[in-house]
Structure 1
Amino acid sequence: MDYHGITLDPFQEEAIHAIEGGRSVLISAPTGAGKTLIAEFAIEKSLEEGKRLVYTAPIKALSSQKFRDFTARYGERIGIKTGDVTINPDAQIVLMTTEVFRNTIFDGSSKIDSVEYVVLDEIHFLDDPERGTVWEESIIFAPPSIRFICLSATIPNIHQLASWIKSVRGDNLTVITESRRPVPLAHTLFVPGMGAQDLAELRKREKRMDRYAPAGRRDGAWRRELVDELFDLKRLPAIYFAFNRRECEQCAASIHRSLLSEEERTKILDSYDSLCRMFSLDRDGVVATMRHVVSRGVAYHHAGLLPTLKEIVERLFTGGILKILFATETFALGVNMPARTVVFSSLSKFNGVEVAFLKSRDFQQMAGRAGRRGMDEVGYVYSVLDWPHTRALSAERVITGDPEPVCSQFNLSYSAILGLYGHLQEKIYGACEKSFSVFQGKRDALLKLQQMKKKIDLLKSFDYIRDGRLTERGIFASQIYGYEIPVAELLFRGILDGLSETDLAVVFCAIIFDGRKSVRHRKVRAKDFRRLTRSVDGALGGILRYEKFTRIAEPMKEADFRLAPAVIGWMRGETFDDLERHTEASAGDIVRTFRQTIQLVRQTASAVGPRSPLRPRLLALLRAMNRDEVDAERQLRLGIAEPVMEENPKP
């Protein structure tokens, strides 16, 4: 079977036949196997039949990339709604983050009833400790008429996941698995000071040597040796995964040789300069530093960069001239950005608590970016091993081990509980017994239900629920998704009354900001500011103490006002470069926090209603804050105007 000139693999054919038959599908296949093509078939089918489809993605950047791709192909029949950006939200095909789709369900909007299909991309994110509950809630609470197209990386308990979905939504589900990669992978261990090594040979050497033999060189010269090998063996372009921002930048700076011909250098710098002009980026600071490494065919990509600069790097990489991209693991979620080679700087990383080995599932997803379908016969994966301190057996477990099973992370937020309680009252417990955790028979299923009861008790104690109904406070909080309790407390305790637009921006930003403790910020010493912080802390203190006393998991965070000088400067019209005087926080962290602040203010302005005296000040705040580099919709519209360079053929 052919589709747009592409001969389909059997698993793709099976999925398309199931969709044509009106069934939901759950597809488990390796990264790069061609799962996205199935979703694109469903999009074209929906467009031809005049039906609506929602395509969800785990991160906003992925939704934006898909929106650009689909808009270029299908025009105004495509819309996007991510929280940061809303364009053409009533279109036939709408791109959303999974959170926005979940929120749409809880809003009770009639628009969701007209949706025929929902694509849940990266459904194995259901296992994510912080956000996995969103995928689970979407499946449990979506209208019964919706059919799902669930796309997953390879997971061992795919049939258990399918059985749970069937138990929640009925038997109309086809499970499709594919284990074969269209481009096979060749794995190599690279030991600093020793070069490329065979796994079996390292195991033999370990048996003959003392465990505390001296390690290979870690002076950075080995990295240049690795790059030389990739260049000489024609194994570029490469994605080099490093697991912190500083390492990404240091790695890029350490590559002194040029990987480009003179013609390629001219072309890539012309492209870089053109994109910088398009996004109105000044060519100094980080932009100049990036240009310097780009001139050698190298770049870096991490969350600390300006979103527009990250997009420029992505476009250069997609164009095929960039030879090595040093990136953190979030780049593994990129759209159609494979390379010939993937390199891991280490097989372990800090997970927020300790340094631990990568999960096999995460390793396989990142490694799956190696090998471009239609261009490479083999994809190469290099794993840098700090041998002998890290033993070959440990490396083997990560590289060749079975991927970990997906487990439930079901954990309803206060807002979700309020939304459900408004319809179900005490029957909410029965609805939540549909969770994957209960289905799996996990010991923590009961603990999760107990946690929900503790949250409901809190909501009753603080007058969000009274006599089996939502109070005015509860109705308001049910319309805010994320930080709903702090905003509700500040509103109903009168803390927001009379605040200027700038003070409101400072307060909303403090609710959200959770910056690194090591980053320095200028202090605000005005008495009025100290009075404001004390009133906010006082309003939130009661709930924070209640959560701590009752041991509610993942309690609210305290307000963090350290970014206030930057917020005040931005609200006064300062440029983004001016903000460096106020804070050492990275540009990416500032933009992300400001965009989250804007999203929260928008929700609040909607929830208070048109007659609230607070609403005009919130709208004025939005006009002052949502500009220039912070304006996500501006970035997206500028990106649509400029076609993306494309080297890699579509899988």
Structure 2
Amino acid sequence: MIDSAGRGFVLDGFQRRAIEHLDAGRSVLVSAPTGSGKTVVADHAVDRALAAGRRAFYTTPIKALSNQKFRDLRQRLGPHRVGLLTGDNVIAGDADVVVMTTEVLRNMLYAGAVSEQLGAVVLDEVHYLEDPYRGPVWEEVILHLPSSVVLVCLSATVSNHEQLGGWLKQVRGPTAVVVEARRPVPLTNLYAVGRRRSDAVQILPTLLDGRPNPEGGRFDAPTPAREPRGSGRSRRGGPGSGRSRRGGPRGSGGSKHRGQRPRVPWRPPRRVDLLAELEERGLLPVIWFVFSRKGCDQAAARLVRDGARFTDDAEAARIDELGEARLGLLDPADLAALGTGRWADRLRLGIASHHAGMVPVFKEAVEQCFAEGLVKVVFATETLALGVNMPARSVVIDKPVKYDGQRTAPLSAAQYTQFTGRAGRRGIDREGWAVALWSPDSTFAQVARLASSRSFELRSAFRPTYNMVAGLLSRMPAREARDLMGRSFAQYQAETASLPVDLARRFDAVAGVLRERGHLDGWTLTDSGSLVSRIFHEAALAVAEALWSGLLDGLSPSELASVLSAFTYEHRSPGARPEVWIPSGTAYRRLRRIGVALDSLHRAERNFGVEPTRPLETGFGPAAHRWAAGESFEALQEEGFSAGDFVRNVKQVIDLARRIAAVAPDQGTSVAAQQTVSALNRGVVSLSGAVYEPAA
């Protein structure tokens, strides 16, 4: 059933079942753990489409995954049969098989650019449809693809797979649900505890026969003691209270303050000690999840200071070779500004960080070294769990809590499963290992619940947006567009649960705003409304109105870059938003006028009960202006952005500038937008978008 070239393994049962359904002409939803081999099913769908003389599209949620899949398919099918379409790359877009981000396919569907030649579409990581901003894109694709296209939806393990499958059958026709709950590599959960004033690490199984280990509870920190009312103790540590000026009982060392947690003999194990234990047990390589970028870098640096080394001379030489191949095109000044020397020294020792604050070329080098077994310890944020395929023998969870953008919250069972899904390499390891560390922030029972839970219910994030409503009304009558809302997974879930959700009414509210702003005449798009339908961006209406009213006309590339950055930049740190100075007076005045128009839009949104468009954020404006004006990456370091954040934000401005260049009513603005793309896409930014293919 499958081309046997390069398939040196026996198919699992769920793979065989999914392939049989595809051979019978059905679409499939495959829900299975990370690393279980869902890609085999996708490859079979691609092969079937090619054998029938048709094309196949393979979509992924992020550019890094698209680049990786592009390399994999080119290696399997040959370089001339596979193309790539992302915001960074357009390579052989008319090839038989094209890999793309899901947004690119959605845009093609709205532009009527999907031909009848298309036979199969793979939607990888389809559980992304619960993402608050990007999730609706998956549902738009599913709803708009021609019925003749076979759909392969690949999902992580979700508990409501039958519900998702039922919706797919309703909107796509015959669709089989194939579920595999068993991990391809069994997972053992461990709990690691350090002892104060000791290097010893105690490691015990978290679960015994699927139930919490009864030994674990003895490591829990006691709850703070409360003094009984009327105890006669003073609330202040003054004379006669028995407390010293430092606040503790005299002679006690101050170890038991009122209401404080009593001192316990346990602590999280030191990283160097735990890694020594894991190495002795043969449990490296390891991905150690630390839920902050700074924490990752500090952990790697401390490990180096502690004298750790996990490579021999031959491995270190190979790491140098790979690093030079990746970084050879960067300017020496940029390499110095990026701190390449410190990064390379750690890598040579088999130690690395991996997080969004790093430039992509650094992360890709780490990934390749890890895949070749050269780097043994990677300290990573959660972006690694959601990104490229990079399994390890073991995974360590540094803390059972993480900052979610608004507050520090406990890990969910779904997050824990996502992180530990990286443990255990199929075909290499007989077993994967997940190690949770003792923490005063949680009890052993809480950790055990995370380890034993497999519940992850997928919830739709679908909602009508300005671009979606305008795009639908450009292609179909209003009645059909409103009916489409009722076919969404969000509406399906609401009706299944008898919840009062009416997406058609939300559609009408969004249309009401468009009508009041002059983009709809009745239910017919005006010329400005047509522009809204062609701008695919979170702030589509605000961007379209600025463009239509001429507020983006007559700007230089650096001025346009700074203005566009106000639509794309999002201040994410918990600290206050910085005050910034816009280098160009012209750009500053344009931003003021756009802000006034946005205030007017917000009033209309409140009147119709529509979620407000997010406000302008000018925090990246100076950096965007200076980079587009040709200043060096080294000089831009004073703007205070990490290298990875700088590159990511510049790329977002580039994506929006490309869209402006394609749709601007004014030819001069279109040319300026093209020049803005050229001015921004240079040096470390352009190299970070390149598709790296190692030499054979």
The normalised TM-score by structure 1 is: 0.92
Given the alignment of the two structures, is residue 82 of structure 1 paired with residue 86 of structure 2, yes or no? yes
Given the alignment of the two structures, is residue 635 of structure 1 paired with residue 648 of structure 2, yes or no? no
Match of 2:203 among 191, 196, 201: 196
When residues 215 and 510 of structure 1 are mapped into structure 2, their CA distance, relative to the original with a 3 A threshold, is: farther
Given the alignment of the two structures, is residue 317 of structure 1 paired with residue 370 of structure 2, yes or no? yes
Q: Name the structure with the higher helix share.
A: 1
Is the 1:347–1:398 contact (alpha carbons within 8 Å) kept by the matching residues of 2?
A: no
Is the 2:554–2:668 contact (alpha carbons within 8 Å) kept by the matching residues of 1?
A: no
Which runs of 5 or more residues in structure 2 are unaligned? Answer: 196-200, 207-212, 225-260
Given the alignment of the two structures, is residue 231 of structure 1 paired with residue 279 of structure 2, yes or no? yes
Which residue of the partner structure matches residue 430 of structure 2? 377
Which structure's relative contact order is higher, taking Cα pairs within 8 Å and 6+ residues apart? Answer: 1
Which residue of the partner structure matches residue 649 of structure 1? none
- Could you tell me how far 1:292 is from its partner in structure 2? 2.1
When residues 24 and 57 of structure 1 are mapped into structure 2, their CA distance, relative to the original with a 3 A threshold, is: same
Which residue of the partner structure matches residue 205 of structure 1? 218
Q: 1:125-164 alignment to 2 at 5 Å?
A: 125-164=128-167
- Could you tell me how far 1:298 is from its partner in structure 2? 0.5
Match of 1:545 among 564, 578, 603: 603
Which residue of the partner structure matches residue 255 of structure 2? none
When residues 210 and 531 of structure 1 are mapped into structure 2, their CA distance, relative to the original with a 3 A threshold, is: closer
Kindly provide the amino acid, as one letter, of the partner of residue 407 in structure 2. E
Which residue of the partner structure matches residue 37 of structure 1? 40
- Could you tell me how far 1:112 is from its partner in structure 2? 4.1
Q: 1:31-110 alignment to 2 at 5 Å?
A: 31-73=34-76, 74-109=78-113
- Could you tell me how far 1:278 is from its partner in structure 2? 4.6
- The 2-side partners of 1:268 and 1:414 are apart by 49
- The 2-side partners of 1:182 and 1:530 are apart by 56
Is the 1:57–1:98 contact (alpha carbons within 8 Å) kept by the matching residues of 2?
A: yes
How many residues align? The count is 634
- Could you tell me how far 1:633 is from its partner in structure 2? 8.1
Q: Deviations over 1:268-287 (max 9, x none)?
A: 23322332215556442432
Q: 1:407-486 alignment to 2 at 5 Å?
A: 407-422=459-474, 423-440=476-493, 441=495, 442=497, 446=501, 448-482=503-537, 483-486=539-542
Q: 1:288-437 alignment to 2 at 5 Å?
A: 288-387=341-440, 389-422=441-474, 423-437=476-490
The 3-state SS of whatever aligns with 1:374 is coil
Is the 1:81–1:95 contact (alpha carbons within 8 Å) kept by the matching residues of 2?
A: yes
RMSD (Å), alpha carbons = 2.4
The normalised TM-score by structure 2 is: 0.86
- Could you tell me how far 1:551 is from its partner in structure 2? 4.1
Q: Deviations over 1:120-154 (max 9, x none)?
A: 11111222223222212221222211111111111
- Could you tell me how far 1:522 is from its partner in structure 2? 6.0
- Could you tell me how far 1:221 is from its partner in structure 2? 6.1
Which runs of 5 or more residues in structure 1 are unaligned? Answer: 645-651
Is the 1:297–1:323 contact (alpha carbons within 8 Å) kept by the matching residues of 2?
A: yes
Q: 1:491-502 alignment to 2 at 5 Å?
A: 491-502=547-558
- The 2-side partners of 1:28 and 1:354 are apart by 31
- The 2-side partners of 1:465 and 1:498 are apart by 27
When residues 148 and 305 of structure 1 are mapped into structure 2, their CA distance, relative to the original with a 3 A threshold, is: same
Is the 1:349–1:356 contact (alpha carbons within 8 Å) kept by the matching residues of 2?
A: yes
When residues 258 and 633 of structure 1 are mapped into structure 2, their CA distance, relative to the original with a 3 A threshold, is: closer
Q: Deviations over 1:57-103 (max 9, x none)?
A: 11111001111222233212111112222211111111111122122
- Could you tell me how far 1:460 is from its partner in structure 2? 0.6
Kindly provide the amino acid, as one letter, of the partner of residue 243 in structure 1. F
Kindly provide the amino acid, as one letter, of the partner of residue 277 in structure 1. G
- Could you tell me how far 1:533 is from its partner in structure 2? 2.6
The 3-state SS of whatever aligns with 1:90 is coil
Kindly provide the amino acid, as one letter, of the partner of residue 320 in structure 2. L
- The 2-side partners of 1:307 and 1:356 are apart by 28
Q: Deviations over 1:44-64 (max 9, x none)?
A: 333333311111111111001
Which residue of the partner structure matches residue 116 of structure 2? 113
- The 2-side partners of 1:30 and 1:561 are apart by 41
- Could you tell me how far 1:524 is from its partner in structure 2? 3.5
- Could you tell me how far 1:634 is from its partner in structure 2? 5.7
Between Structure 1 and Structure 2, whose CA radius of gyration is higher? 2
Given the alignment of the two structures, is residue 187 of structure 1 paired with residue 189 of structure 2, yes or no? yes
Instruction: Quote the sequence identity (%).
Output: 35
Which residue of the partner structure matches residue 257 of structure 2? none
Which residue of the partner structure matches residue 585 of structure 1? 641
Kindly provide the amino acid, as one letter, of the partner of residue 218 in structure 2. R
When residues 14 and 139 of structure 1 are mapped into structure 2, their CA distance, relative to the original with a 3 A threshold, is: same
Which residue of the partner structure matches residue 15 of structure 1? 18
- The 2-side partners of 1:528 and 1:314 are apart by 44
